[in-house]
Amino acid sequence: MKFTVIMKSLNWETFSWKKEALFGTIRDCKLAYKTFGKLNEAKDNAILFPHMYSGTHKAMEIYIGEGMALDPSKYFIILPNQLGNGLSSSPHNTPFPFGRGAFPKVRISDDVRAQHKLVTEKFGINTLQLVVGWSMGAQQTYEWAVRYPEMVKRAAPIGGTAKNTPHDFLFTETLIEAITSDPAFQDGWYEDHQQVHRGLRRHSRIWAVMGLCTEFYKQEQWSRLGFSSLDDFLVGYWDNWFLPMDPNNLLCMAWKWQRGDVSRNTGGDLKAALERIQAKVYVMPFEEDMFFPVRDCKAEQEMIPNSELRVIPSLWGHFTMMGFFEEDKNYIDAQLKNLLSTPV
């Protein structure tokens, strides 16, 4: 893992849902990232692969390998970690009194601006062959394609939207409330994140409802992963994924997720924002996604000039990208291969 300080005392300008101005400063802002492969001399073989809510770049490494679309023998693949994810500057790793409950609000566009500095200033890259990301990674992908259209040759937003929907906002709000309502949360000033385990568990269980789909549970697809019962799956998968995480970090990402919106680049005009995209785009929703449904993704795809809708079929719903089923991983990989082989 490489860490680098790429911004010092940068001012982050953000606006909350209710439009009041918010300003904050992340002191000694750090962006953690990992790379695979080698940047060629022309510096034109780079791929950027930002990640989703919760977790780190690590979960996405399953899509990188020789013979796969993201082939490190061919491409220089950069996996940035989200601000707030626990590796990059985050509530839990920012020293008192600026961290934890006092960490500033961060936006998708803040991440993308930080990644832009990394890509251009650290690596001297001006062209990205592909920006690909899932969920909040899709939000970052869209932001890249709209904000720096001339840099992005291809884009694959997977299971996410360019402008978050009100329903998705409300869903995320229930996740936030699940955590903040735990008395142990103490406005973010808990001593140890494990004290907030009750709130984290509620948060995990809401994910269990919305993260997959009705049919996954009906068919007991969890048994394919070796879980012995539904309870075993709830504890062994969902709780096990979310409970080790820091509540403030999750809340930082959740706030950011709620407000993902490329139309902030064009005064609120989503169509104008999406028409700025020069990349060849595969819009890839999951057929069974409960909160980034195909319908919402399709409506955006239709506004993007050089784009195609490629629906991913899997009972893993929004969590298909975790690639637990080999066929899902292969399906997504095949789409990315196809996109990367499209001349632009």
- Residue 224 near its own copies by CB under 8 A: no
- Beta-strand relationship, 46-48 and 128-134: parallel
Q: Which of 111, 261, 289, 333 is catalytic?
A: 289
User: Could you identify the residue written with the tokens 């735990």?
Assistant: 182
- Residue 208 near its own copies by CB under 8 A: yes
- Beta-strand relationship, 30-36 and 2-5: antiparallel
Other CB atoms within a 10 A radius of the CB of residue 343 amount to: 5
Q: Smallest gap, in angstroms, from Cβ of residue 15 to its own copies?
A: 17
- Residue 184 near its own copies by CB under 8 A: no
- 3-class secondary-structure state, position 114: helix
Among residue numbers 290 through 319, which ones bind its own copies (CB under 8 A)? 290-291, 293, 295-296
Q: Smallest gap, in angstroms, from Cβ of residue 232 to its own copies?
A: 13
CB 284 within 8 A of CB 158: yes
> For residues 177, 179, 183 and 186, what is the CA-based torsion angle, rounded to 10 degrees?
-100
d(CA 274, CA 238): 35
CA proximity to 217, closest of 155, 288, 297, 114 = 288
The answer to whether 135 is a known catalytic residue is: yes
Angle 159-77-333 from CA coordinates, rounded to 5°: 45
Among 27, 117, 122, 205, binds its own copies (CB under 8 A): 205
Among residue numbers 43 through 82, which ones bind its own copies (CB under 8 A)? none
Among 123, 217, 227, 325, binds its own copies (CB under 8 A): 217
Q: Smallest gap, in angstroms, from Cβ of residue 170 to its own copies?
A: 5
Q: Which of 54, 88, 109, 135 is catalytic?
A: 135
d(CA 296, CA 229): 33
* Contact string 151-170 vs its own copies (x = CB under 8 A): --------------xxxx-x
Q: Smallest gap, in angstroms, from Cβ of residue 249 to its own copies?
A: 21
Q: Which of 239, 318, 328, 333 is catalytic?
A: 318
Q: With respect to its own copies, which residue has the nearer C-beta, 2 or 18?
A: 18
- Residue 173 near its own copies by CB under 8 A: yes
CB 136 within 8 A of CB 260: yes
- Residue 227 near its own copies by CB under 8 A: no
CB 205 within 8 A of CB 175: no
- Residue 178 near its own copies by CB under 8 A: yes
Catalytic residues: 135, 289, 318
